[in-house]
Amino acid sequence: MAVALVTSYSIAKFEIRSFPARGISGVDVHKPDRPVRAEMGGLAVLAALALASLFYFGIDFTLDGPPVLFAAAASTVVLTGMVGVADDTHELSQRFKPLLIVAASAPLMLALAGRTSITFPILGNVHLGILYSVVAVPLAITTSANFSNLLAGFNGLEAGSATISLGTMTFISEVTGHPTVAAFGMILTAAYLGFLFLNWYPAKIFPGDTGTLVAGAALAAMGLAAGLEFEAIILSVPAAMDFSLKAIDRRPFKQRHVFGNAVVGLDGILEPAPYPALVHAFMKVSPLDERGLVISVLALQAVFALLAVAIALIFI
């Protein structure tokens, strides 16, 4: 865990110094002076996952049951991260990107080929047969990755949300008897926490699509690997709400291009853009600066995290 945290922090520090000079940067549109900051910080999380995984396998190779799920989940997450890198550097088309993430799900599809059912609280076992690995796994990874890519754009929001949701899944995986998945989650939680120190308001670096896609894919991968699909769904609810608000509109998913971003005043207070979105809901009801907004959204994420833990413990 310490390896992941230190690696992520150190590499993000390096990115802050070197990426803007290479043109890997973006404008912080929610600051009055619109500073330029390093982009694609999610690469630090991926590097932390790779290095910390080496340590994990070195220390715990024989103690923890079959490591195939760990390797498959890590492969899927890293491949999804590569899609994010391609998107950050070459702006992939919105039609092509989901197909690449489906392809990135292949390691987890193969590792879970023998599983045929999902367990839901109250409903019990829902038998899906071969559809579990062929349809449910790629659908979950792609949906979750794209959801977390939508609820983004404010300092600390993506990394904070990832830390809460992946930390929660780690805790639930551990208490429900899935130590391999818990180890995988612990590495990623620490990696996002290390990155969060530099991404928190006022951010020195942005996660980019690399960071957001990895967070979503990792959440789904943990849910699938540990058989905690319902808990992963609960943790995805804030992002799913944002998706739903943007989808049911006269201009689905085109609103940002038409209306632009939330506008920031000289006093730092955000004015919501005129279209439905989860972040705009918080801005509409009372004056908020960027830091206050992110704390509110993270509080919402924490409420769903508590709900996921409660349901997991009740139906254990």
CA distance 250 to 16: 39
The answer to whether 1 contacts another protein (rule: CB under 8 A) is no
| Beta carbons of 84 and 209 less than 8 angstroms apart | yes
Q: How far is the CB of 242 from another protein (least distance, A)?
A: 9
Binding track, positions 98-127, relative to another protein; x by CB under 8 A: ------------------------xx--xx
| Other Cβ atoms closer than 10 A to 69 | 21
CB atoms within 10 A of CB 84: 32
Interface size with another protein, residues (CB under 8 A) = 28
**Rounded Cα–Cα distance for residues 69 and 2 (Å):** 22
Cβ 285 to another protein shortest distance, Å: 4
CB of 123 to another protein, least distance (A): 5
Which residue in 284, 306, 310, 313 binds another protein (CB under 8 A)? Answer: 284
What is the DSSP-derived secondary structure letter of residue 21? Answer: G
Let me know: does 37 contact 205? Beta carbons within 8 Å. Answer: yes
The encoded tokens of residue 289 equal 């600066």
Report helix, strand or coil for 45. Answer: helix
Q: Beta strand 124-127 with 36-38: parallel, antiparallel or unpaired?
A: unpaired
Window 223 to 282, contacts with another protein (CB under 8 A): 234, 237-238, 240-241, 244-245, 247-248, 276, 278, 281-282
**Position 139 contacts another protein (CB under 8 A):** no
Q: Which CB sits closer to another protein, 56 or 304?
A: 304
Please, what is the minimum distance in Å from the beta carbon of residue 160 to another protein? 15
- Closer Cβ to another protein, 10 or 244, answer by number: 244
Q: What is the b/e burial string over 224-258, where b = at least 16 CB atoms within 10 angstroms of the residue's CB?
A: bbbbbbbbbbbbbbbbbbbbebbeeeeeeeebeee
CB of 297 to another protein, least distance (A): 9
Selection from 268, 266, 265 nearest residue 291 by Cα: 268
- If the CB atoms of residues 2 and 126 are measured against another protein, the closer one turns out to be 126
Nearer to another protein, 89 or 296 (CB): 296
176 or 296: CB nearest another protein? 296
Question: Would you call 148 exposed, middle or buried from its count of C-beta atoms within 10 A (0-12, 13-18, 19+)?
Answer: buried
Both tokens assigned to 81? 């991260």
Positions in the binding site for another protein (CB under 8 A): 122-123, 126-128, 234, 237-238, 240-241, 244-245, 247-248, 276, 278, 281-282, 284-286, 288, 296, 299-300, 303-304, 307
